[in-house]
Amino acid sequence: MADATTISQALPRYLSHLKVEAGLSARTLDAYHRDLALLLETLEARGVRACHQVQPQDLAEHLRLLHRERGLQPASIARHLSSIRMFFRWLEADGCIDDNPAGPLVPPTRWKRLPGVLSPGRIRTLIEAADSSAGRLWSRDRAMLELMYAAGLRASEVGLLGHSGWRPSLAVMLVDGKGDKQRLVPVGRPAVRAVECYLEELYPTLRRFNDGRDQGRLILSHTGRPLTRVAVWQIVRRYADRAGLGDVHPHMLRHSFATHLLQGGADLRVVQELLGHSNVATTQVYTHVDSRHLRDVVMNHLPREARRSA
């Protein structure tokens, strides 16, 4: 029989379970905590405090609020729903509830539209906006932008790049991705040149402190600490404004990386590995290339069409 445990009492126990028994990383735990803290806020506003009081309509309303008031897209709402489902499955297994109110909820349709992508020319304009007239940290910013595009980095991965993971002789970067998974990503000559310039001219001054604050990271702030995710967003936005490109966010460099690779003929599975996607279905969103490109592929590479145009 369900007990009178409140959600605010159960949440710390659940997070402890995820940390100790499930062995989730700190970043993953933070994500679950943020998702469920928002749920707790919604439920308390509706006067629902005990776990057994939660009804499917309460959860459905919370998901609607995430879309209407916070502007979350279906993919983000699906992630919140996944967090909620796991939490209530645990509550049921722990005896806090008899029936799982998250069971009837259906995930929203995942977005099918290709995320915002910059053309190669606009990528060049963005990166070249980081020049010597942009201030003392320009070489760091240029190296960061080059790597974000050349390696398809998430904003959260930039601050985790290790100095020891940079292999200029092999032109590869070791990236720590989601779920503590590592991947080796080859990078092109422009990125190699930009990173080597940064390491030679600026990095030693940023790493001047001897208290270990740099944590062995490659991309550092002016205080010598690793860049935060928020700082990465701010830097990208600043150079987008400087270049006159309008609304550009860090993930657009990652989207552009994947899209340009596929349009250049790269295999989907290769792009999946380079992006660090666990499931190839996540990578398939980048296969929605423009119709003219698809027509060119058919006309030039499908044997019967190629013979007809010969």
- Which amino acid is present at 95? G
pTM flag (> 0.85) = no
**pLDDT tens digits along 20-78:** 888 888 888 999 999 999 999 999 999 999 999 999 999 999 998 998 888 888 878 88
**How many other β-carbons are positioned within 10 Å of the β-carbon of residue 87?**
22
Q: Which of 178, 193, 237, 242 is catalytic?
A: 178
Q: Which two tokens stand for residue 302?
A: 């499908």
Among 250, 282, 305, identify where a domain stops: 250
Q: Which of 154, 183, 217, 255 is catalytic?
A: 154
112 annotated active-site: no
Q: Which residue has the tokens 């928002």?
A: 38
> What's the confidence (pLDDT) of residue 23?
84
Q: Looking at the domain assignment, is residue 268 inside a domain? A: no
Q: Looking at the domain assignment, is residue 300 inside a domain? A: no
138 and 236 share a domain? yes
Q: Looking at the domain assignment, is residue 83 inside a domain? A: yes
- CATH number reported for the structural domain that contains residue 176 in this entry: 1.10.443.10
- CATH number reported for the structural domain that contains residue 30 in this entry: 1.10.150
CB burial of residue 97 (10 Å; 0-12, 13-18, 19+) = buried
198 annotated active-site: no
**pLDDT tens digits along 97-154:** 988 999 888 776 544 455 688 999 999 999 999 999 999 999 999 999 999 999 999 9
Number of domains in the chain: 2
* Element spanning 166, H or E: strand 166-167
222 annotated active-site: no
Domain that holds residue 79: 7-93
User: In this model, does residue 289 exceed pLDDT 70?
Assistant: no
